[in-house]
Amino acid sequence: MSQSPNWQRSYVIALLFIALAIGLFVAAYFGAAFIAPKETLQEFSDLPSHFSVGSLSTITPEQYGTLVNDLLGVGGVRQVELRSNELFTANVSGSSTLIDLYGIPNQSIVYSGITIVNGTGQLGQLGTGQVYMWNRAPNASRFHAGDVLPAEFSFYSYSQKSRVNVARNFTIAGVVNVNLKSIWKLVDGVVTNLSPDGFGFPLVLANWSDVFPSLLSYNPITKILVYADSSGLVDSGLETSLARANHILNGVTPLASKFNFTVVSNLTSSLEGKLFTLQRTRSVLTTVALLVVSAALYIALPRLHRPNFEDSGTTKKAEVFATILLSERGYPPPDRVCR
């Protein structure tokens, strides 16, 4: 008994639907598994910090040093940096100017995106009283390598219940260019406008251990930035990466809580967002794949049981629906496939 052209057409349509469903399943699982490590690596590199440890409490420089050493001992932690920011007033050319000061370690990750435009010495080797001036900051053209900045810090001391003034002299060791990624890491993502217009004052960089230990007694202006080791985080699936990031977070949090510090986990928040998007995409693709399989069975099963029967109204409607659905996805019409 020969098969009718209509039966053959329905059979081909069903096969195309099943092939489409298989493709959706593959995209939902294997495709996502292939893309996820690359997205994790990009996200890992772009974050301003992986864990940010901070508090309004005032602790001593020695306590900060203890906490930094303890955090370096957490498994999966690659680097820990103290980061401080404060404004000071400097008398420049007879006028009082506010200057934005950031304290970073001489081995800071920020230096990966900094180049010296004017000045001498090795990058990231600031000596006592030396600072770098960002060349694109507001009014930076007024400053040059070798200039001396007589600085005055003014704080309200909660312990002394009065305002305290601290004087320092800084020498500009060099004028530097800072790329966008390093600016993002310098401010730990706090400043959203990273163009020079986003900073209201000239910006200078100093060695944290040279400037800020003497200021900590007056103002709680420091936080600790923790960077994770990429090994095991960017070469696996999102679920595994998130589990390892949470393991690091569980090691950092108890150490920070000893000093009443809180931890903001940029890394786990980012991975959770990526994982949610991945799971939602998988769910949508799986649902569509099941609908496609259902449509294929709806078309093919009647003719598989009775290959020579006359087309019913329901079957014809199903074929019309299948033809429209295939054409929307770029497949040729079924009659063109079968000829």
Specify the pLDDT at position 305: 55
If asked whether residues 220 and 112 sit together in one domain, one would say yes
Of 224, 258, 293, the residue at which a domain comes to its end is 224
If asked whether residues 9 and 63 sit together in one domain, one would say yes
Of 159, 189, 224, the residue at which a domain comes to its end is 224
If asked whether residues 195 and 257 sit together in one domain, one would say no
- Which H, E and C letters describe the chain, residue by residue? CCCCHHHHHHHHHHHHHHHHHHHHHHHHHHHHHHHHHHHHHHHHHHCCCCEEEECCCCCCHHHHHHHHHHHHCCCCEEEEEEEEEEEEEEEECCEEEEEEEEEECCCCHHHHHEEEEEECCCCCCCCCCEEEEECCCCCHHHCCCCCEEEEEEEEEECCCCEEEEEEEEEEEEEEEEECHHHHHHHCCCCCCCCCHHHCCCCEEEEEHHHHHHHCCCCCCCEEEEEEECCCCCCCCCHHHHHHHHHHHHHHHHHHHHCCCCEEEEHHHHHHHHHHHHHHHHHHHHHHHHHHHHHHHHHHHHHHHHCCCCCCCHHHHHHHHHHHHHHHHCCCCCHHHHHC
If asked whether residues 57 and 158 sit together in one domain, one would say no
**Does residue 52 surpass a pLDDT of 50?**
yes
If asked whether residues 128 and 196 sit together in one domain, one would say yes
If asked whether residues 163 and 101 sit together in one domain, one would say yes
Q: How does pLDDT run across 195-223, given as a tens digit for each residue? A: 666 677 889 999 999 999 888 766 667 89
If asked whether residues 88 and 220 sit together in one domain, one would say yes
Total domain count, the chain? 2
If asked whether residues 30 and 95 sit together in one domain, one would say no
Of 179, 194, 224, the residue at which a domain comes to its end is 224
If asked whether residues 257 and 220 sit together in one domain, one would say no
Least confident window among 81-90, 95-104, 320-329: 320-329
The pTM assigned to this predicted structure is: 0.74
If asked whether residues 154 and 71 sit together in one domain, one would say no
Specify the pLDDT at position 108: 95
If asked whether residues 115 and 220 sit together in one domain, one would say yes
Whole domain around residue 41: which residue ranges? Answer: 1-76+229-339
Comparing 250 with 284, the larger pLDDT belongs to 250
If asked whether residues 265 and 284 sit together in one domain, one would say yes
Specify the pLDDT at position 157: 74
- Mean per-residue pLDDT of the chain: 79
With cut-offs at 50, 70 and 90, classify the pLDDT of residue 254. very high
